[in-house]
Structure 1
Amino acid sequence: MVVHDISKIVLDENFEARRADRQENISFRDVTDFLRRHTVLIGVFGAVGLALGFFYILNTPPSYTATARLVIDPEQGRIASQDASTGTIIIEAAEIASQVEIVKSEAIARAVIERLDLTKDPEIVSTSSWVSSIKETVKSLFTLRAADDTANVPDEEYLMRRTMATFLSRMTVRRVGQSYVLEIGYTSLDPEKAAKTTNAIATAYIKTGLNERAEAARSGARWLESRLMEIGEQARAAAMSVEDFRAMNDITTIGTTSTLEQQQLSELSSQMLAARAATAAETAKLMSFQELIASGSIMADVDEGADNPQLQKLRDEMRAATSKLENLKARYHDGNPAIVAARAEIERLEAAMRAEFQRIERLLQSHVDIAQTREKLLETELANLTAAGAGKNVARVELSEMESRATTYRNMYEGVLQQLIGALQTQSFPLGKARIVTAATAPLGKTWPKPSTVLPLSLTLGLGAGLVMAVMRDGLDRRVSSSERLRAELGIASLGHVPVYRSGPRPQQPAIASTMLPLRSVLDMPYSRFSEALRGVKNSIDSAFPANSTAVVGVTSVGPGEGKTTIASNLAQLYMNEGTSVLLVDADFIGSRLSRVTSEDGASFGMESLRLIGISGQYSRRRSSGETPNPEDFDGKAVCCVPVLTVDQTRKAAVAHQRYGHLPALKAELELLRQRYKVIIVDMSGFEDSADTRVICTYLDGIVVVLGQSDKMTVERLAEALSTFGKSRVALLGVISNRSEGPRRAKMKGRKPWRPSST
C-alpha cells in the first residue's frame, strides 16, 4: 500500500490539465462503468421518451399525403453545354430547380386557394404553427405599431396571406432523381382533399405556364410587328440610297456580281492576252521560214507549204524532173540534149519554188504586222478604259458599303419576319412546358404519425436525453464518491467503502440511545456488510506498516458529522477482538464524544478509560492484564473492553498555566503509550477548521480521512482542506467512504447478520 505525503497533495495549476488528460483517455471499461452507473437514469429517460411517443401518436390526428408527377419537356429546357465527345445536350440543372421553385411560388398557391376556396377551409385557417404564434406574440408587444401596420392591410389580404403560408407549409415539391420529373405532394387530414388539392396544384402550374407563354407570345408579336415596320423602312431607304448613288456615279451593274466597266476590262484583258499570243506565234513562223530560205533547202517541208497547192505541185514536178534526170544519166552521157533539157526543167522549177517561198514570206510578214497592230490597238483601248475606271474606284468602295448596309437591313427584316410568324403561331396554339404523368389519387394509408418512425425516434431521443443528462451529471458531479476520481485527480488511495449502519432490534436494552449504537456495531453484527467492509479497511491499514511494528493511526474527517468516531471505535474493537493490544485515544477536544460515552456507560460499548498508576504520564487499565473481563454487556456475555485515553486525562497531564498545553501533553503520552500498545487509534476533530487536529497529525505515523458526506464533499473542497496542512509532513494512508452504497458482493445478498446467541 502506498502512503501519501499531504504536503504534496495540493490543488495546483496542473489540476485541470490532469483532469483533462484523464477525460481524454477513456477506455472501454470506463464506458461500461459509466453505463452501469447511469442505467436507471438512461432507462427512465428512454421510457419517458417512449411514453411521449405513444402519447403523440394517440393524440395526433392522422394526416395523408397525395402525390402527382409532372414531366418537364426537355426541348423547352435551357441548354447549358454540349458534350464534345458524345454530342449529348446537357440541360441546365438550374432550369429544373427553377421550375421547382415556381411550383412552390405564391402565384400557384393563390390560384389553387381561389379555385378551391381554401380561405374558408377550417383545417387550414385554424392551423397555426409555433412560428406564427411567436410572431403574434411579438406583434402584441408593439400594439401601436401593429395597429398602424394592420390599418393599411385589408382583412381579405391578411386572410389570404395567412392561408397561403399554411398552404405552402403543407405542400412539397421535389425532383425525382436526375430526371425531368417533378413530384408534387400535399398533406391533409382528408385523403380525398389531399388528392384533389394536389391535382389542382399540378393543373394550376400547367395552366400558368400556358398563360405565361401565350402572354409572352402576344407581347412578342406586338413588339416584333412594330420592329418589322421600322426595319422595313430602314431597308427600303438603304436600297434607294444604293440606286441613287449608282446612277449619280454612272455605275452600271451587270448581273449581281460586277459592273459594266469591270466586264469590259475583263474582256479587253482577255483579248490583249490573245493578241500577244498571236503576235508571238506569227513572229515565230516568220523567223523559222526565213531561216529555211536562208539555208537553201527549198525541198524541206514547212507547215506553211503543207496547205499550199501551188508549192505542192511544184514539189511534185521537181521530184518527177529529178527522177527523169537520173534515168537519163543512167542511159546517156552528160552532153545529151535530153539531159540538158531535163536540167533546164529542174532549174525552172527551182526558180518557181523560190518565187513561191518569197510570196509566202511576204504573207507571213503581213500576218505579223497585222498581229502587232491589233496588239497595239488593244493596249491603247485597255489603257484608256483603265484610266476611265480609276476615277470610279472610290465610288465603288462607298457603293459596296451602302450595298452591305442595305443587305443587312434586308436580312434583319427577313429574320424579324420569321420570328413574327413563329410568335403568331405560338399565340394561336401555345405549348406547355410540362404535362401530368401520374395524377394524384386518395392515399390508402396515413403519412403521419407513423408508429414505426415516431416510436424509435422518441425512444432514441429519450435515450439520448438520458445519456446527455448522465454525462452532465458526471461532468458536474465533483463529489468524492468515486475512488477512481480520488486516485486519478488527487492521487489518494481509497481504503474502502463502509455502508450505512442499520441496526437490528435490541429489546433487552431499550435505554441505549440509537445514535450510540454504531460505536459497537462490529460487536452486535460481526458479519454484517458494515463489519465486513470495516475489516477490509483494517487490512488496508495493516498493509501500510511493517509486521510487528507499533502503529499510531489517526482518524479524522474534513468536517464534523462524518462518522469518524464510529470508524475509530469499531476499528479498535476489531483489533481488540483479534487479540491485538490496542488503545483508543480521544483527541477530539471540541466534541469529546468518546470521552463522554466512556465516562457514562463505557462498559456497554466495550470501552473503558485508562488509569494513572501513580507516576506522572503513566497509565494502565483499571483491571490487570490477567484479570477476567467484567461481564457487563448487552447480551450478558463477557466482552473485552478497549482502553480509552479520554480528553480529561490528557488535559490533566498538561501544564496548568498553559492554555494549549494539551497538545504537548498528548504528544508525550503517545510516546509513552507506544511502548505498551501495538496499535494506537487516535480520534480527532475535523481538520478543516481545527488547528489542533493539524498539529496532532504530525505526531502520528499515519492518518485516515473519513468522508461521510459524499453528497456535499467535492474533489476541490477536499483538496483545499488538505492544503490547510501547509508544509507539514503528514502521512495520509487513504480515505474511507463512510455511509457509502459502494459495490456489494453477490454472496452478501440475502444473508442475515450474525447475532450472538443468548446462553
Structure 2
Amino acid sequence: MLKKAAWQPSPAAGEARTASSKDQYIDPVGVLRVLRRRWAVIASILALAVAVAGIYVATTSQRYTASSLLLFNVRDAEQFQQRGYPNPTADSAYIDSQVEVLRSEAIARSVVRNLNLLSDPEFISRTGGLVGIFGKISSAIFGSGTKPNQEGRAVAAFQRNLTIKRIGSTYVIQIDYRSLDATKAARISNAVTEAYLSDQNASKYRFSYDIDAWLRDRLDKLKAQAQNSERAVAEYKAKSNVVGADAPLLSGQQLADLSSGRRVLLKDLESSAQSHRMLYETFLQRVTEFTNQQSFPTNEARIVSEASPLLVKNDPKPVLVLGAATILGLIGGLAVAFGREYLDKSFRSSEQVEKELGTECLGVLPTIGPARDRLPNRRRDGESGDRSMPTFARKHRFVVREPFSQFAETVRSSKIAADVAGLHRPNKVIGITSVRPKEGKTLFAANLSEMMALCGCKVLLIDCQLRNAGMTAQFAPAAKAGVIEVITGQAAVKDVIWRDSSTNLSFLPAVKAVANRDPTAGRVLGPAAMCQLTQLTSAGLETLLQSVQDFYDYVILDLASLTPMADVKAISHLIDSFILVIELGGTSQEAAIDALDSAPPIFEKLLGVVLNQHRQSRLKRLAR
C-alpha cells in the first residue's frame, strides 16, 4: 500500500511523509455527499415504487369489509359444567383454537354451499388487477400445476378475503369479510358465524351420542354385575338355609350350625353385592346428570354483533398504500444508493485521493462543453510555412478563453503547486500522465501549459504520446515533423516548434505516422523494433531536454498512460515532477494504487493528482 504523501514545504524539503490515518467513523458530511451524488438513483427507485403503488390502486377493485363479533360465554357455561371438571372454554388456548376452526376449509365449504357462492362470478372468475396479471405470467412461465375444481377455486377465493382475529386477550373473536358488494360482505360474515355455531352444535350432538351409547353400555354391564352379585348371595343363603349373616331372625342355633368359614364366605358375597350395587347407583346418577346437561340447549359461543353493510369503501386504502410504497421506495433507494457507493471503488472526492494514494489532490476539473469550432484551413496552416498554432482548439485553450472559470481556477492551483515545489528542488520538467488511457490528461496538459504561458512563463509543451498524437491534431495538424525527428537527428528543434501567438506558448508536435512506423523506412514496426525505438526515444529525449531547459522556465510533457504501456517508466528518470490525472468516477482505486506501486520513481516525484471529467452541475457536491 502507498505510504508517501504529497510533497509539501517542511524543514527537510522534499522528504516523504506518511499520510495521517483517520479513525473509522460515520461522517455526516460524507453521508450527505453520497445522498446528493446518488439522488437520481434514490429518486428513480422511489418514483418506481410510487408508480407501482399507483397502478395497484388504480387497477384493484374497491372492496367493502363487514365485521361480526362472536363471544365465548365463559361464566355462563361454567354453571352447566359438572362439579370437579374444568371448563375448557376458560382456557386462552381454546379461544385461539376456535380462531383456527373458523379459518378452516370445512367452515369455508359450508358457507360456499349454504349461500350458493359457486354461481357468483366473484368466486369463480380469475383474480384481476396486478395479482391476476402476475398470476397469468407465473402460470405461463412455470405452469399452473394441478387445476382446482370450481368449488376448490371458490373456497380459495373465499379464504383469501376472510380475516379471523381475536380482539386482544378477550374472549371475543372478530370475523371480517371483504367483498365487492357491501351487502354480500355482511351476509357472508354472518354466515360464517352461523356455520361455526351449527358446526359446534353438530359436533356436540355427535359427541353426546357417542358418549351416551358408551355410558349405557357401561351402565348395563354394572347393573348386570350388581344383579349377579345379589343373586349369588341369595342362592348361597338359600343353600345354607339362612336369611343372612346379620339378619335378626337368625337364631343362635342357626349361627351355631354355621361354621366360621361359611360365615366369612357369606360376608364376602354380601360385601361384593353391596359394592356393585353402590357403583351402579353412583354411575346411574352421573349418567342422569350428563343426560340432563346434554339435553339443555346451551352453547359456549354466541353472536354479540351481526355484520351490517357499510357504505364506505375501505380497501385498498390509497393513502395507506401510497404511504407504504413511499417508505419502502425510500428505503430501497437508500439501500441501492449506499450499496452502489460501497461497491464503487472509483475516486469520488479529493478526500479519497488523499486517503488512498497518500498524495495531494490539486483539484477537480469540471467537464467542458462540446467545442463548436470549425476545422482549420490546411492551406493556411501548412502550405504557407507559418508554424503558428491555430485558435480553433477551444477545449485545449479553454483557460485562454475563460480565465475566470472554475476550470481555469483548478488549472491555476496546479500551476501554483508547481511553482511552490520549484522553490525547494528542481522542477522544470513536468510530466502529465494518467492511470489508463482517455482520462483527459492531454486536455489538462494543454491548458496547464497555456496557463503558465499566460502568467509570463516561457513554456515548451511536448507531445510525447507516440502511439496517439491527439494534442498534435489540435495544435499542429499540418505538422510534417516533430519530436521523433528531433531525437533521431533528422530535424532541429527550432525548425519544428509551433507557437501560440496569443500566449507565446511553444509546442513540439509528434507526427501521428510515427506511432507505428519506422520514420526512416516507412515500414510497419514489429515488437523488437518498437523496443529499440523506445530505447532510442529515451536517449534522444534526454538530449532534447538538456538542450531546451536553459531557454524555458517549464517543459511540459504530455505522456502516455501508466497502464498498459511502459513508456513513462522508461523516461521517468528524466522528469522532475509528475501530475497524475484520474477520471472521477471512472478509474478504480485499486488500479491507481497498483499503477503507482509498479512505478516507485513516479510516485516519489508525484506533485499531486487532478480529478478530471466531473460534471459541472455536480461539482459543488464534492467541494471540500
TM-score (structure 2 length as normaliser)? 0.76
- 2:62 aligned with 1:71: no
1:246 deviation in Å? 7.0
Question: Of residues 627, 630, 641 in structure 1, which corresponds to 2:504?
Answer: 641
Which residue matches 2:62?
62
After superposition, the Cα gap between the structure-2 partners of 1:569 and 1:413, relative to the gap in structure 1 and judged at 3 Å, is same
1:68 deviation in Å? 0.6
Write the distance in 2 (CA, Å) between the matches of 1:611 and 1:132.
Answer: 73
Question: Of residues 323, 333, 338 in structure 2, which corresponds to 1:456?
Answer: 323
What is the letter of the counterpart of residue 126 of structure 1?
Answer: S
1:593 deviation in Å? 4.5
Which residue matches 2:219?
228
Which residue matches 1:214?
205
1:233 deviation in Å? 0.2
1:445 deviation in Å? 1.6
Write the distance in 1 (CA, Å) between the matches of 2:77 and 2:337.
Answer: 56
Q: Deviations over 1:242-279 (max 9, x none)?
A: 555677788954489xx999xx9xxxxxxxxxxxxxxx
Which residue matches 1:269?
none
Write the distance in 1 (CA, Å) between the matches of 2:268 and 2:209.
Answer: 37
Question: Of residues 596, 612, 615 in structure 2, which corresponds to 1:738?
Answer: 612
| SS of residue paired to 2:106 | helix
Contact 1:705–1:735 (CA<8 Å) still a contact in 2? yes
After superposition, the Cα gap between the structure-2 partners of 1:203 and 1:711, relative to the gap in structure 1 and judged at 3 Å, is same
Contact 1:213–1:430 (CA<8 Å) still a contact in 2? no
1:119 deviation in Å? 0.6
1:193 deviation in Å? 0.6
- 2:447 aligned with 1:570: yes
Which residue matches 1:42?
42
Equivalent residues in 2 for 1:130-209, closer than 5 Å = 158-209=149-200
1:587 deviation in Å? 2.8
- 2:423 aligned with 1:546: yes
After superposition, the Cα gap between the structure-2 partners of 1:104 and 1:600, relative to the gap in structure 1 and judged at 3 Å, is closer
| SS of residue paired to 2:52 | helix
Contact 2:418–2:427 (CA<8 Å) still a contact in 1? no
| SS of residue paired to 2:448 | helix
After superposition, the Cα gap between the structure-2 partners of 1:459 and 1:399, relative to the gap in structure 1 and judged at 3 Å, is farther
After superposition, the Cα gap between the structure-2 partners of 1:233 and 1:88, relative to the gap in structure 1 and judged at 3 Å, is closer
Question: Of residues 579, 594, 599 in structure 2, which corresponds to 1:725?
Answer: 599
1:412 deviation in Å? 3.2
| SS of residue paired to 1:739 | strand
1:230 deviation in Å? 1.3
Q: Deviations over 1:531-569 (max 9, x none)?
A: 222112323444445358534321012333333222112
Which residue matches 1:350?
none
- 2:1 aligned with 1:2: no
What is the letter of the counterpart of residue 412 of structure 1?
Answer: L
Count, aligned residues: 561
Q: Deviations over 1:180-199 (max 9, x none)?
A: 11111111010011111111
Write the distance in 2 (CA, Å) between the matches of 1:29 and 1:52.
Answer: 33
| SS of residue paired to 1:464 | helix
Write the distance in 1 (CA, Å) between the matches of 2:267 and 2:41.
Answer: 96
- 2:545 aligned with 1:682: no
1:39 deviation in Å? 2.2
- 2:317 aligned with 1:446: no
1:89 deviation in Å? 10
Aligned-residue sequence identity (percent) comes to 28
After superposition, the Cα gap between the structure-2 partners of 1:401 and 1:103, relative to the gap in structure 1 and judged at 3 Å, is farther
Write the distance in 2 (CA, Å) between the matches of 1:40 and 1:399.
Answer: 106
- 2:389 aligned with 1:526: no
Write the distance in 1 (CA, Å) between the matches of 2:338 and 2:126.
Answer: 39
1:50 deviation in Å? 2.6
**Please, what is the CA RMSD of the aligned residues?**
4.6
1:202 deviation in Å? 1.0
After superposition, the Cα gap between the structure-2 partners of 1:621 and 1:168, relative to the gap in structure 1 and judged at 3 Å, is same
Q: Deviations over 1:70-112 (max 9, x none)?
A: 1112158799xxxxxxx99992221111111121222222221
Which residue matches 2:113?
114
Q: Deviations over 1:16-75 (max 9, x none)?
A: xx9xx99x7332222211111122332233233333333332332211111111111215
- Please, which moves more after superposition, 192-201 or 663-672? 663-672
After superposition, the Cα gap between the structure-2 partners of 1:420 and 1:134, relative to the gap in structure 1 and judged at 3 Å, is farther
Write the distance in 1 (CA, Å) between the matches of 2:156 and 2:54.
Answer: 30
Q: Which has a greater percent of helix?
A: 1
Contact 1:127–1:166 (CA<8 Å) still a contact in 2? no
After superposition, the Cα gap between the structure-2 partners of 1:578 and 1:729, relative to the gap in structure 1 and judged at 3 Å, is closer
Write the distance in 2 (CA, Å) between the matches of 1:508 and 1:228.
Answer: 119
1:722 deviation in Å? 3.4
Which residue matches 1:473?
340
Write the distance in 2 (CA, Å) between the matches of 1:739 and 1:733.
Answer: 20
Gaps of 5+ in 1: 9-17, 80-86, 151-156, 265-384, 603-607, 624-629, 749-759
Write the distance in 1 (CA, Å) between the matches of 2:430 and 2:602.
Answer: 16
Q: Deviations over 1:391-410 (max 9, x none)?
A: 738964x6666555444433
What is the letter of the counterpart of residue 239 of structure 1?
Answer: E
- Please, which moves more after superposition, 178-187 or 683-692? 683-692
Write the distance in 2 (CA, Å) between the matches of 1:41 and 1:475.
Answer: 14
Which residue matches 1:705?
580
Equivalent residues in 2 for 1:478-627, closer than 5 Å = 478-502=345-369, 516-546=393-423, 549-594=426-471
- Please, which moves more after superposition, 90-99 or 419-428? 419-428
Write the distance in 2 (CA, Å) between the matches of 1:139 and 1:662.
Answer: 66
Q: Deviations over 1:324-350 (max 9, x none)?
A: xxxxxxxxxxxxxxxxxxxxxxxxxxx
Write the distance in 1 (CA, Å) between the matches of 2:47 and 2:216.
Answer: 75
Contact 1:218–1:427 (CA<8 Å) still a contact in 2? no
Structure with greater Cα Rg: 1
- Please, which moves more after superposition, 540-549 or 715-724? 540-549
Write the distance in 2 (CA, Å) between the matches of 1:407 and 1:455.
Answer: 81
Write the distance in 1 (CA, Å) between the matches of 2:215 and 2:87.
Answer: 33
Write the distance in 1 (CA, Å) between the matches of 2:309 and 2:572.
Answer: 86
Gaps of 5+ in 2: 8-15, 80-85, 382-389, 520-530
| SS of residue paired to 1:516 | coil
TM-score (structure 1 length as normaliser)? 0.64
Write the distance in 2 (CA, Å) between the matches of 1:246 and 1:430.
Answer: 50
What is the letter of the counterpart of residue 6 of structure 2?
Answer: V
1:597 deviation in Å? 5.9
1:683 deviation in Å? 1.6
Q: Deviations over 1:614-652 (max 9, x none)?
A: xx99998689xxxxxx9x97xxxx634223455589x99
Contact 2:5–2:358 (CA<8 Å) still a contact in 1? no
1:723 deviation in Å? 4.4
Write the distance in 1 (CA, Å) between the matches of 2:473 and 2:159.
Answer: 83
After superposition, the Cα gap between the structure-2 partners of 1:44 and 1:427, relative to the gap in structure 1 and judged at 3 Å, is same
Write the distance in 2 (CA, Å) between the matches of 1:728 and 1:400.
Answer: 123
Write the distance in 1 (CA, Å) between the matches of 2:430 and 2:138.
Answer: 70
Contact 2:371–2:394 (CA<8 Å) still a contact in 1? no
Contact 1:609–1:644 (CA<8 Å) still a contact in 2? no
After superposition, the Cα gap between the structure-2 partners of 1:68 and 1:2, relative to the gap in structure 1 and judged at 3 Å, is same
1:438 deviation in Å? 0.7
Equivalent residues in 2 for 1:258-273, closer than 5 Å = none
Question: Of residues 566, 576, 594 in structure 2, which corresponds to 1:691?
Answer: 566
1:733 deviation in Å? 2.6
Q: Deviations over 1:655-708 (max 9, x none)?
A: xx9742221232344355555544332221122132221121233232112234
What is the letter of the counterpart of residue 537 of structure 2?
Answer: H
What is the letter of the counterpart of residue 44 of structure 1?
Answer: S
